[in-house]
Structure 1
Amino acid sequence: MDELYLRKAQIQDVRQVHALLMDCAKKEFLLPRSFSQLYSHLRDFYVLAERSGRGVHGCCALTIAWEDLAEIRSLAVDEHLRKKGWGGKLVEACLSEAVTLGLYRVFTLTYQKGFFEHLGFVEVEKEKLPQKVWADCINCPKFPECDEIAMLMEM
């Protein structure tokens, strides 16, 4: 494997990002995303890529939810690279972009509570988030029985 670095996602990354997300979804680490969703939100994504351009080994997206709120979503790292700090670096890239955009409240819906607590997120009741946040939930296979944990960081 080549040297790894973080960068904004590019159109040629979509198939690899999709495969990575589907693998993590099968393990119930996150919810699946369709190709349509990935193409529509490609600009939201950062990827962990090989400098040679041969592979994508991680991803994370920052999606603007409202005028003062963004969401961290679709965080995935190849199994052989987990526990090496790449997930945190992907989230930090998204948080940095949030600040650049003037967004100082960032939430996530996750199954990985401890990971996000370590980064400074705190658990909140889902009802504390604006209803706009739940627009994607209609398409979720777990709707309306959501078992994800809502977490928030205020910077």
Structure 2
Amino acid sequence: MEIRKATIHDVDEMQPLIQQYADQGLMLPRSAKSLYEHIQCFTVAVKDGKVVGTVGLHILWKDLAEVRSLAVDPGYQGQGIGRKLVERAIWEAEQLGVEQVLSLTYQADFFRKLNFHIVDRDSLPHKVWKDCVYCKKFDRCDEIAMVYYTQSFKSVHDPVASIL
């Protein structure tokens, strides 16, 4: 299996993969147009020439990025593909110097295993007022806000690391 940056040639497989989860109310839908416009934000997992997973990393503010549109083909779940995609997104965030990676999710156990921590959604104003305010579930959001603190965050906020 290969984990790599998405290309425009992957969109025809990415969009229906994301849509099947959007149809279940588990994530927001993504049109092909939206994927083309943001293709540089996406990473895909490819197995035997087929896109079997995708994830987006969206920068929200200087210290906050979001894992979006994490989707793994149901026939390939349980193989660590989702974990590898999220780890790649975290790595990219760290390379960019982003301190926190956010996920709004129904899969808290999955993200907890990747060292994400539950936080109060109100502690994320750049997300809430940029995206959430336009969501049809805004007044009754039932997703769990979770944050991963990158090495950039840890080095800035760890008094011992700042001395070294």
TM-score by length of 1: 0.89
Separation in structure 1 between the aligned mates of residue 85 and residue 67 of structure 2, nearest angstrom: 10
Specify which of 39, 43, 46 is matched with residue 46 of structure 1: 43
Identify which of 101, 124, 131 aligns with 2:96. 101
Report the aligned-residue RMSD.
1.4
- Give how far 1:138 is off: 4.1
2:116 paired with 1:121: yes
1:145 Cα deviation from its structure 2 partner:
2.1
Candidates 69, 83, 86, aligned match of 1:88? 83
Q: Partner residue of 1:151?
A: 146
| 1:19 alignment partner in structure 2 | 16
| Cα offset, 1:146, TM superposition | 1.5
Return 31-40 or 134-143, whichever deviates more. Answer: 134-143
Structure showing greater radius of gyration is: 2
In structure 1, what is the Cα distance between the partners aligned to 2:140 and 2:31?
21
Larger relative helix fraction: 2
SS at match of 2:33: helix
Conserved in 2, the CA contact under 8 Å of 1:29 and 1:112? no
User: Structure 2 CA distance, aligned partners of 1:99 and 1:15?
Assistant: 29
Alignment partner of 2:139: what SS? coil
Match of 1:77 among 57, 66, 72: 72
Q: What SS class does the counterpart of residue 114 from structure 1 fall into?
A: helix
Aligned to 2:98, the other structure's residue is in SS state: coil
The structural deviation recorded for 1:28 is: 3.0
Kept in 2: contact 1:5–1:49 (CA 8 A):
yes
Task: Report whether the alignment pairs 1:8 with 2:2.
Answer: no
**Quick check: 118-127 or 27-36, which moved more?**
27-36
* Structure 2: tracts of 5 or more residues without a match: 151-164
Structure 2 residue matching 1:144: 3-state secondary structure: helix
TM-score for both structures, normalised by structure 2: 0.85
